[in-house]
Structure 1
Amino acid sequence: MDRTAADTTISIALVDDHALFREGLREILESVGDMRIVGEAGDSTAAVTLVAGTRPDVVLLDVEIPGDEVTETVSRIRTLSPDTRIIILSMYDGPQLLSRLLGAGIRGYLLKSVHRHELIAAVRSVREDPSRVVLAVSRNSVAQVEAAAAPTLSDKELEVLQLAAQALSNSQIARKLGLAEATVKRHMRNIFVKLNAVSRIDAVNKALAASLIMPQGRTDPD
């Protein structure tokens, strides 16, 4: 069954203390057929009230609006409307602020220098995929955020996990590394905690995704 027009239209709240900038955003977004502006706000208190009353799909939030600090505003918006995706608009390209906002749950961080098609694409992207994060910042900022977020495993934990990726059991890993099996189990527990993993396969997959270990084929048991 096809979705109705109401289902496919993206509702957006604009939050910026410059009325002229909000007017420009409104003109850009309402020029496409699948977006509508449900309200505007110029400070953090008004932003939270607006979101509570409209529950928009997306909030475009200026990083320097008057009132509460931006991460507090993000937190309050997400508490009131968990399904609302927040895209930050900023003049500043700083990895520390970006990291804090990503931790607070934003789904996008765009510099105000982006082109209109990038803005439109970002809004559509976070609406279509709630897990997606859209960034339009420098490579240096992204690299610093990724480096800070990457889990750190000890050399021995990396050895253990690399062998676990080859489908070796704890006892087989212990023999290869000259360790007690209990020590291998302790290393695996530490790995699960550090990677927030729920199983050996989950830990291996997360380590591969983070390039902590190298992909290898299965090793036959000794």
Structure 2
Amino acid sequence: MTITLVIADDHPVVRDGLRGIFAAAEGFEVLGEAADGAEAVALAERLRPDVVLMDLRMPGTDGVTAIGRLAKSGSSARVLVLTTYDTDSDVLPALEAGATGYLLKDAPREELFRGVRAAARGEAVLSPAVASRLLGQMRAPVPEELSAREVEVLGLVASGCTNKQAATRLFISEATVKTHLLHVYAKLGVKDRAAAVAVAFQRGLL
């Protein structure tokens, strides 16, 4: 069975290279090429390919937006992301939008062929680097949430209060403030006040 494809990438050289790779291999047919996400969606709806090879960072409509549009339109095409980026901010949005798989452009030719075949069957496809990243996230401990009182204490510390001043404002003992801070340090994985405040701001706790 021949697997039909649409290639979406804003670089003509990349599109030409991919077309040549698949043209030289048995069992594949490239139906069209797109230079951005909007064009990819239009081609996928008109040509009904089995697989869309989708770059993520393209001018105009990006890959993630295009993947979401295809998913909402009920397109039968499977989207296999083919990009140079493997950061969390790229991988997760693409998979959440509906991509069947995620490969990197430095993947060997045979890995690319296997990925396209698997995507056409509806199977999840992940490059080893991306799979390792996602597995690491799953194994990472879930951050323990701060209690309302701990956030309150940390907020006063962030505003410049000493332990004594925080205790006075909250009508608790200085020892209790220290205990709350020790719990905060443990939950945030830090060792001092400055680091606790910095991490709290990063996580949007303050």
Q: TM-score, normalised by structure 1?
A: 0.58
- State the one-letter code of the partner of 1:133: A
Deviation at 1:48, TM superposition (A): 1.4
Deviation at 1:137, TM superposition (A): 4.3
Equivalent in 85, 95, 104 of residue 88 of structure 2: 95
Q: Could you tell me how far apart the structure 1 residues matched to 2:32 and 2:56 are?
A: 18
Is 1:14 equivalent to 2:7 in the alignment?
Answer: yes
Deviation at 1:81, TM superposition (A): 4.5
Q: Deviations over 1:17-54 (max 9, x none)?
A: 11111111011112122110010010122111111111
* Structure 2: segments with no counterpart, 5+ residues: 143-206
Q: Could you tell me how far apart the structure 2 residues matched to 1:43 and 1:16 are?
A: 6
Say what the alpha-carbon RMSD is for the aligned residues. 1.9
Is 1:84 equivalent to 2:50 in the alignment?
Answer: no
* Structure 1: segments with no counterpart, 5+ residues: 1-7, 151-222
Q: TM-score, normalised by structure 2?
A: 0.63
- State the one-letter code of the partner of 1:29: F
62 and 112 in structure 1: CA distance in 2 versus 1, 3 angstrom threshold? same
User: Is this contact kept in 2: 1:71–1:100, CA < 8 A?
Assistant: yes
User: Is this contact kept in 1: 2:44–2:75, CA < 8 A?
Assistant: no
User: Is this contact kept in 2: 1:111–1:137, CA < 8 A?
Assistant: no
Q: Could you tell me how far apart the structure 1 residues matched to 2:58 and 2:8 are?
A: 8
Q: Could you tell me how far apart the structure 2 residues matched to 1:62 and 1:145 are?
A: 24
Q: Could you tell me how far apart the structure 2 residues matched to 1:140 and 1:58 are?
A: 24
Is 1:135 equivalent to 2:126 in the alignment?
Answer: yes
Identity of aligned residues (%): 34
Is 1:56 equivalent to 2:58 in the alignment?
Answer: no
User: Is this contact kept in 2: 1:51–1:80, CA < 8 A?
Assistant: no
